[in-house]
């Protein structure tokens, strides 16, 4: 089993650097299977969403589509998949960044009533409270 870093997923998805994209795709296609999935942490998914948004100017719907596909692939083992799906559902209809929803849901799972923040966009859902 191997873990996949954000930059490998970005190259595989975006295909912007031919040599690195080819290497990333070859790695994922040859080493990640349903029987031996590649591991993807929540942090990597958060970074991926951020890079697609800020680095590649993907629209929110396009980012959500990429994340939905990523979470659906049997060849990958996603850390805390139920939380990732919840965060994705909130992201698709909300205003905050994907990572904000992961943070708010993680804190709620730990027993927090709300997550206090200065981020006004995050406070559009009940996971957050403006400081």
Question: For every residue of 88-106, which 3-state class applies, written as one string?
Answer: HHHHHHCCCCHHHHHHHHH
What is the pTM assigned to this prediction? 0.95
- pLDDT at 43 (0 to 100): 98
Classified as helix, coil or strand, 77 is strand
In the block, tokens 């009940």 appear at: 126
Model pLDDT for residues 14-60, shown as the tens digit of each residue: 999 999 999 999 999 999 999 999 999 999 999 999 999 999 999 99
Residues 6+ apart with CB under 8 A from 25: 11, 12, 15
pLDDT in tens, 55-101: 999 999 999 999 999 999 999 999 999 999 999 999 999 999 999 99
Digit-coded pLDDT (tens) for 116-127: 999 999 998 999
- If we measure between CA atoms, which residue out of 86, 15, 100, 3 comes closest to residue 49? 100
């Amino acid at each position: 089993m191997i873990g996949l870093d954000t930059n490998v997923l970005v190259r595989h998805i975006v295909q912007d650097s031919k040599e690195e994209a080819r290497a990333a795709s070859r790695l994922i296609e040859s080493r990640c299977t349903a029987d031996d999935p590649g591991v993807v942490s929540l942090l990597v998914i958060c970074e991926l969403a951020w890079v697609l948004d800020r680095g590649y100017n993907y629209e929110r719907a396009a980012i959500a589509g990429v994340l939905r596909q990523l979470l659906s692939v049997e060849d990958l083992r996603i850390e805390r998949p139920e939380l990732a799906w919840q965060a994705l559902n909130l992201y698709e209809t909300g205003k905050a960044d994907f990572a904000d929803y992961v943070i708010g849901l993680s804190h709620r799972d730990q027993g927090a009533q709300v997550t206090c923040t200065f981020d006004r966009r995050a406070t559009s859902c009940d996971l957050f409270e403006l400081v």
